[in-house]
Chain A
Amino acid sequence: ELKVEQNPLFLSMQEGKNYTIYCNYSTTSDRLYWYRQDPGKSLESLFVLLSNGAVKQEGRLMASLDTKARLSTLHITAAVHDLSATYFCAVADYGGSQGNLIFGKGTKLSVKP
């Protein structure tokens, strides 16, 4: 059974600082997704990582995937208040629910002035 663990679950940052969110998963998969969710809103797709070593960047966010270590990171550079949201990683499950995405518990990010 595929399990996805994110850490930290809560992150309070100051504006201008850097930080990394980690996403570990338990069984083989080569497709990992990062989503952002604002309170009361739906999930917005941020990054699609489809191969080992994939790195994608958008603004102050950069995501990477290491399929051998079963690890993805979401790095935040020089955080700003607008980045405050909950971030989910999701991993494609080729096992029991083929094609399903298994979500991590989410990281609630709060960026303070």
Chain B
Amino acid sequence: DTEVTQTPKHLVMGMTNKKSLKCEQHMGHRAMYWYKQKAKKPPELMFVYSYEKLSINESVPSRFSPECPNSSLLNLHLHALQPEDSALYLCASSPRGLAGVVYTGELFFGEGSRLTVL
């Protein structure tokens, strides 16, 4: 069983809606990630939080807004999305952060939130 929990598992939203995806881990990991995965494609990195600070933003449109309230929680706020944003959104965590610490840990992925934008 995964120790990274994502909610909701499925989300359908209109282009004018505001919604949020949530991710939680209690493994004491200090880095948390959002990935987007389209069908039959590999995951693409969106954001990385390291020690609760945004470390990497891979040129993601502003209609996606990440938030890391504490070391265990990661949110992705969604607003004015487009149909092409429909995808599986994966949260992951790793034991070490990026702040000058050598990356040694593997990523542990949640089950994902499948988003459909109408």
Interface class of chain B by DSSP:
loop
Query: Could you say which residues of chain B place their CB within 8 Å of the CB of A108?
Result: 40
Query: Could you say which residues of chain B place their CB within 8 Å of the CB of A50?
Result: 104
Closest CB of chain A to B86's CB: distance in Å?
14
A99 near B111 with CB under 8 A, answer no
Give the total number of A-B pairs whose CB atoms are below 8 A apart: 57
* Residues of A near any B CB (own CB < 8 A): 31, 33, 35, 40-45, 48, 50, 88, 90, 92, 94, 97-101, 103-106, 108
B42 near A106 with CB under 8 A, answer yes
Could you tell me the distance between the alpha carbons of A31 and B107 in the complex, rounded to whole angstroms? 12
* Residues of B near any A CB (own CB < 8 A): 2, 31, 40-43, 45, 48, 50, 55-56, 58, 88, 90, 98, 103-104, 106-112, 114
A42 near B103 with CB under 8 A, answer no
